Amino acid sequence: MSTTSRIHVVLAAAALAAAAGFATAAPAGAQAPTVAQQSTVYAWIDGWGGGTVTSRPAGISCHTTAWDPYSGEEPPAGSTGPCEARFPVGTTVTFTATPDPGSYTNGSVDPASLTVRAGYNAVWAMFCPTDGLCSAG
C-alpha cells in the first residue's frame, strides 16, 4: 500500500470515528436524564371503628381495628400494613376507605385523590362503630 493510500485510510478512519462521536453526543445544553423524583404519601386513620385505607396505584393498605374505649380494654397497638408509600412526583393517587363489619366510614377519605408533590402528602379517614359513639381516638 502506498503512503498516499495509507493516509487516505487513516483519514477515513478518523472521519468515521468523529461521525460516530457526533451521533452519540448530547445536543448542546441538554441535561442527562434523571430518575423521577419520588415523595412519600401518608395515610392517617382515626376513630374507634375498624377499616382499611388503600391506594391506587397500589402501595398503601393501612388497617385499624375497632376499639370500644368504654370496655376497659387497652386500645389496639396501632395501624397495620403499609400506611405510607413512595410515588413519583406528579402521580395521581386515589384512595378508598373500606370499613370492617360493625363499622362505617365517617365521610370519605380526605382527600379522595391527590397529585403527589415534593414535600408532605397525607390523607385522612375516620372509621366509626355502628353501635357506639364516633370520636377521634
- pLDDT tens-digit profile of 54-90? 999 999 999 999 988 888 888 888 788 899 999 999 9
Burial of 70 (0-12, 13-18, 19+ CB in 10 A): exposed
Whole-prediction pTM value?
Answer: 0.70
Percent of the chain with pLDDT over 70: 72
pLDDT at 105 over 90: yes
Q: How high is the pLDDT of residue 132?
A: 76
| Number of continuous H segments (helices) and E segments (strands) in the chain | 1, 8
Pair type for strands 84-88 and 121-129: unpaired
Q: How high is the pLDDT of residue 27?
A: 54
Total count of residues recorded for the chain: 137
pLDDT at 14 over 80: no
Q: How high is the pLDDT of residue 73?
A: 86
Lookup: cell for 104: 362505617
pLDDT at 125 over 60: yes
Residues 94-122 have a mean pLDDT of 95
